A = this chain, B = another copy of it.
Amino acid sequence: MSLLDVEIVPVSNEPAYRSVVRRIETKIMSGEWAVGDRVPAETTLAQDLGVHRSTIREAIRVLEQNGLVRRHDGGKLLFVTAPREADISSKITAAIVLQEVTFFELWESMRCIEPALVEGAASRISEDTLDALQENVERTRVAYEDKKSLVQLDIEFHQLIATASGNRALQLCRQPISQLFYPAFLNVFSRLNAGERLVFAHEKILQALRGRDAAVAREWMDKHVVDFRRGYELASLDIDAPVGWPGKIDAA
Protein backbone atom coordinates (compact mmCIF):
# COMPACT_ATOMS: atom_id res chain seq x y z
CA MET A 1 0.00 0.00 0.00
CA SER A 2 3.02 2.31 -0.23
CA LEU A 3 2.24 5.45 -2.21
CA LEU A 4 5.81 6.38 -2.97
CA ASP A 5 5.86 4.62 -6.33
CA VAL A 6 3.17 6.83 -7.84
CA GLU A 7 4.55 9.13 -10.47
CA ILE A 8 3.31 12.62 -9.92
CA VAL A 9 3.69 15.41 -12.44
CA PRO A 10 5.08 18.33 -10.43
CA VAL A 11 2.87 21.40 -10.46
CA SER A 12 4.39 24.71 -9.48
CA ASN A 13 3.01 26.31 -6.31
CA GLU A 14 0.74 23.36 -5.66
CA PRO A 15 -0.17 23.15 -1.97
CA ALA A 16 0.89 19.91 -0.27
CA TYR A 17 -2.67 18.70 0.39
CA ARG A 18 -3.51 18.96 -3.29
CA SER A 19 -0.61 16.81 -4.37
CA VAL A 20 -1.78 14.25 -1.77
CA VAL A 21 -5.28 14.45 -3.27
CA ARG A 22 -3.87 13.68 -6.71
CA ARG A 23 -1.78 10.78 -5.46
CA ILE A 24 -4.75 9.16 -3.77
CA GLU A 25 -7.01 9.90 -6.77
CA THR A 26 -4.52 8.07 -8.98
CA LYS A 27 -4.59 5.05 -6.67
CA ILE A 28 -8.39 4.99 -6.75
CA MET A 29 -8.89 5.72 -10.45
CA SER A 30 -6.36 3.10 -11.52
CA GLY A 31 -8.17 0.51 -9.41
CA GLU A 32 -5.17 -0.13 -7.16
CA TRP A 33 -7.46 0.92 -4.32
CA ALA A 34 -10.75 -0.67 -5.31
CA VAL A 35 -14.24 0.61 -4.50
CA GLY A 36 -15.13 -0.91 -1.13
CA ASP A 37 -11.54 -1.05 0.17
CA ARG A 38 -10.67 0.58 3.47
CA VAL A 39 -8.56 3.71 3.21
CA PRO A 40 -5.33 3.34 5.27
CA ALA A 41 -5.18 5.18 8.60
CA GLU A 42 -4.14 8.86 8.61
CA THR A 43 -0.92 8.07 10.44
CA THR A 44 0.02 5.40 7.88
CA LEU A 45 -0.67 7.75 4.98
CA ALA A 46 1.27 10.57 6.65
CA GLN A 47 4.27 8.28 7.12
CA ASP A 48 4.15 6.84 3.57
CA LEU A 49 3.83 10.24 1.94
CA GLY A 50 6.19 12.11 4.23
CA VAL A 51 3.69 14.84 5.09
CA HIS A 52 2.07 16.07 8.28
CA ARG A 53 -1.08 14.33 9.49
CA SER A 54 -3.05 17.56 9.13
CA THR A 55 -2.18 17.64 5.42
CA ILE A 56 -3.62 14.15 5.05
CA ARG A 57 -6.76 15.29 6.84
CA GLU A 58 -7.19 18.22 4.44
CA ALA A 59 -6.77 15.93 1.44
CA ILE A 60 -9.30 13.44 2.83
CA ARG A 61 -11.87 16.23 3.20
CA VAL A 62 -11.54 17.12 -0.47
CA LEU A 63 -11.82 13.46 -1.49
CA GLU A 64 -14.92 13.11 0.70
CA GLN A 65 -16.54 16.15 -0.92
CA ASN A 66 -15.89 14.62 -4.33
CA GLY A 67 -17.46 11.33 -3.27
CA LEU A 68 -14.28 9.26 -3.72
CA VAL A 69 -14.14 8.20 -0.07
CA ARG A 70 -16.97 7.94 2.45
CA ARG A 71 -17.63 6.96 6.06
CA HIS A 72 -20.38 4.39 6.48
CA ASP A 73 -23.25 5.32 8.82
CA GLY A 74 -21.36 8.07 10.54
CA GLY A 75 -18.59 5.67 11.61
CA LYS A 76 -14.92 6.59 11.77
CA LEU A 77 -13.67 4.18 9.11
CA LEU A 78 -13.15 5.52 5.60
CA PHE A 79 -13.87 3.46 2.49
CA VAL A 80 -13.18 3.99 -1.20
CA THR A 81 -16.46 4.74 -3.00
CA ALA A 82 -17.75 5.54 -6.48
CA PRO A 83 -19.08 9.13 -6.63
CA ARG A 84 -22.87 9.22 -6.70
CA GLU A 85 -25.13 11.34 -8.89
CA ALA A 86 -25.68 13.68 -5.94
CA ASP A 87 -21.93 14.26 -5.48
CA ILE A 88 -21.70 15.52 -9.06
CA SER A 89 -25.06 17.12 -9.63
CA SER A 90 -24.67 20.15 -7.34
CA LYS A 91 -21.31 20.96 -8.98
CA ILE A 92 -22.75 20.95 -12.50
CA THR A 93 -25.70 23.03 -11.24
CA ALA A 94 -23.29 25.64 -9.86
CA ALA A 95 -21.41 25.82 -13.18
CA ILE A 96 -24.65 26.23 -15.17
CA VAL A 97 -26.03 28.97 -12.93
CA LEU A 98 -22.77 30.92 -12.51
CA GLN A 99 -21.82 30.70 -16.19
CA GLU A 100 -25.25 32.29 -16.78
CA VAL A 101 -26.40 29.51 -19.10
CA THR A 102 -29.73 30.47 -20.70
CA PHE A 103 -33.14 28.73 -20.63
CA PHE A 104 -32.69 28.15 -24.34
CA GLU A 105 -29.49 26.17 -23.74
CA LEU A 106 -31.22 24.04 -21.09
CA TRP A 107 -34.18 23.45 -23.38
CA GLU A 108 -31.92 22.46 -26.26
CA SER A 109 -30.08 20.05 -23.91
CA MET A 110 -33.30 18.43 -22.77
CA ARG A 111 -34.47 18.13 -26.37
CA CYS A 112 -31.25 16.24 -27.04
CA ILE A 113 -31.24 14.01 -23.95
CA GLU A 114 -34.88 13.12 -23.21
CA PRO A 115 -35.70 11.50 -26.60
CA ALA A 116 -32.46 9.45 -26.45
CA LEU A 117 -33.31 8.20 -22.96
CA VAL A 118 -36.87 7.20 -23.83
CA GLU A 119 -35.55 5.42 -26.93
CA GLY A 120 -33.18 3.40 -24.73
CA ALA A 121 -35.90 2.79 -22.14
CA ALA A 122 -38.24 1.29 -24.77
CA SER A 123 -36.20 -1.91 -24.98
CA ARG A 124 -35.02 -1.98 -21.34
CA ILE A 125 -37.91 -0.81 -19.14
CA SER A 126 -39.28 -3.31 -16.57
CA GLU A 127 -42.95 -4.11 -16.00
CA ASP A 128 -42.63 -2.57 -12.52
CA THR A 129 -41.47 0.75 -13.95
CA LEU A 130 -44.26 0.68 -16.54
CA ASP A 131 -46.73 0.26 -13.66
CA ALA A 132 -45.08 3.12 -11.75
CA LEU A 133 -45.44 5.33 -14.85
CA GLN A 134 -49.12 4.32 -15.14
CA GLU A 135 -49.74 5.28 -11.53
CA ASN A 136 -47.89 8.56 -12.08
CA VAL A 137 -50.08 9.43 -15.08
CA GLU A 138 -53.25 8.66 -13.10
CA ARG A 139 -52.15 10.91 -10.25
CA THR A 140 -51.23 13.66 -12.71
CA ARG A 141 -54.71 13.50 -14.26
CA VAL A 142 -56.29 14.60 -10.97
CA ALA A 143 -53.63 17.22 -10.13
CA TYR A 144 -54.36 19.85 -12.80
CA GLU A 145 -55.24 22.49 -10.22
CA ASP A 146 -52.43 21.69 -7.83
CA LYS A 147 -49.50 23.27 -9.66
CA LYS A 148 -46.90 22.16 -7.13
CA SER A 149 -47.91 18.50 -7.38
CA LEU A 150 -48.03 18.82 -11.16
CA VAL A 151 -44.37 19.88 -11.21
CA GLN A 152 -43.38 17.06 -8.84
CA LEU A 153 -45.29 14.45 -10.82
CA ASP A 154 -43.79 15.62 -14.09
CA ILE A 155 -40.27 15.44 -12.67
CA GLU A 156 -41.01 11.92 -11.37
CA PHE A 157 -42.36 10.78 -14.76
CA HIS A 158 -39.24 11.85 -16.60
CA GLN A 159 -36.95 10.56 -13.84
CA LEU A 160 -38.50 7.08 -14.05
CA ILE A 161 -37.79 7.00 -17.79
CA ALA A 162 -34.22 8.27 -17.33
CA THR A 163 -33.51 5.48 -14.84
CA ALA A 164 -35.16 2.89 -17.09
CA SER A 165 -32.80 3.88 -19.93
CA GLY A 166 -29.99 2.17 -18.03
CA ASN A 167 -27.49 4.75 -19.35
CA ARG A 168 -25.60 6.08 -16.33
CA ALA A 169 -23.40 8.51 -18.28
CA LEU A 170 -26.43 10.32 -19.73
CA GLN A 171 -28.18 10.21 -16.36
CA LEU A 172 -25.21 11.95 -14.70
CA CYS A 173 -25.50 14.76 -17.25
CA ARG A 174 -29.26 14.94 -17.19
CA GLN A 175 -29.77 15.18 -13.43
CA PRO A 176 -28.62 18.79 -12.83
CA ILE A 177 -30.07 20.03 -16.14
CA SER A 178 -33.51 18.54 -15.39
CA GLN A 179 -33.47 19.95 -11.85
CA LEU A 180 -33.10 23.43 -13.29
CA PHE A 181 -35.29 22.83 -16.34
CA TYR A 182 -38.57 21.32 -15.16
CA PRO A 183 -39.45 23.63 -12.24
CA ALA A 184 -38.69 26.75 -14.32
CA PHE A 185 -40.65 25.68 -17.37
CA LEU A 186 -43.53 24.03 -15.59
CA ASN A 187 -44.32 27.03 -13.43
CA VAL A 188 -45.14 28.76 -16.69
CA PHE A 189 -46.63 25.77 -18.41
CA SER A 190 -49.10 25.20 -15.60
CA ARG A 191 -50.15 28.86 -15.57
CA LEU A 192 -51.42 28.27 -19.09
CA ASN A 193 -53.60 25.42 -17.79
CA ALA A 194 -51.74 23.04 -20.02
CA GLY A 195 -52.15 20.11 -17.62
CA GLU A 196 -54.37 18.26 -20.06
CA ARG A 197 -51.80 18.63 -22.81
CA LEU A 198 -49.10 17.36 -20.45
CA VAL A 199 -51.06 14.24 -19.48
CA PHE A 200 -51.90 13.55 -23.12
CA ALA A 201 -48.20 13.52 -24.05
CA HIS A 202 -47.29 11.38 -21.04
CA GLU A 203 -50.00 8.87 -21.99
CA LYS A 204 -48.72 8.63 -25.56
CA ILE A 205 -45.16 8.08 -24.32
CA LEU A 206 -46.27 5.41 -21.84
CA GLN A 207 -48.30 3.64 -24.51
CA ALA A 208 -45.28 3.54 -26.82
CA LEU A 209 -43.10 2.21 -24.00
CA ARG A 210 -45.62 -0.55 -23.25
CA GLY A 211 -45.56 -1.48 -26.93
CA ARG A 212 -41.71 -1.38 -26.88
CA ASP A 213 -41.92 1.06 -29.78
CA ALA A 214 -38.71 3.10 -29.54
CA ALA A 215 -39.43 5.29 -32.59
CA VAL A 216 -42.89 6.38 -31.44
CA ALA A 217 -41.72 6.92 -27.84
CA ARG A 218 -38.92 9.13 -29.17
CA GLU A 219 -41.26 11.06 -31.44
CA TRP A 220 -43.72 11.85 -28.64
CA MET A 221 -40.97 12.81 -26.24
CA ASP A 222 -39.61 15.21 -28.82
CA LYS A 223 -43.06 16.80 -29.35
CA HIS A 224 -43.44 17.04 -25.57
CA VAL A 225 -40.14 18.90 -25.10
CA VAL A 226 -40.98 21.21 -28.02
CA ASP A 227 -44.27 21.96 -26.23
CA PHE A 228 -42.36 23.23 -23.19
CA ARG A 229 -40.70 25.87 -25.30
CA ARG A 230 -44.01 26.88 -26.86
CA GLY A 231 -45.53 27.29 -23.40
CA TYR A 232 -42.61 29.42 -22.30
CA GLU A 233 -42.95 31.68 -25.31
CA LEU A 234 -46.75 31.92 -25.01
CA ALA A 235 -46.19 33.31 -21.52
CA SER A 236 -43.99 36.00 -23.16
CA LEU A 237 -40.92 35.00 -21.17
CA ASP A 238 -37.41 35.55 -22.44
CA ILE A 239 -35.90 32.20 -23.37
CA ASP A 240 -32.48 33.84 -23.75
CA ALA A 241 -32.35 34.95 -20.12
CA PRO A 242 -29.93 33.20 -17.73
CA VAL A 243 -31.42 30.35 -15.73
CA GLY A 244 -30.88 31.69 -12.22
CA TRP A 245 -30.84 29.69 -9.04
CA PRO A 246 -33.95 27.96 -7.68
CA GLY A 247 -32.59 28.47 -4.16
CA LYS A 248 -31.78 25.09 -2.71
CA ILE A 249 -28.41 23.70 -1.63
CA ASP A 250 -28.45 19.97 -1.04
CA ALA A 251 -26.58 18.82 2.02
CA ALA A 252 -24.11 16.46 0.35
Contacts and interface: CB of A to CB of B under 8 A. Distances in A.
A177 interface: yes
A31 B99 contact: no
Interface residues of A, number: 63
Contacts of A91: 66, 83, 87-88, 91
A83 B88 contact: no
Interface in A1-47: 9, 11, 13-14, 17-18, 21-22, 25-26, 28-31, 35
Given A30-B245, A98-B28, A120 B92 contact: no
Interface of A: 9, 11, 13-14, 17-18, 21-22, 25-26, 28-31, 35, 58, 61-62, 65-68, 74, 81-85, 87-88, 91-92, 94-101, 105-106, 108-109, 111-113, 116, 120, 166-170, 172-173, 177, 244-245, 247, 249, 251-252
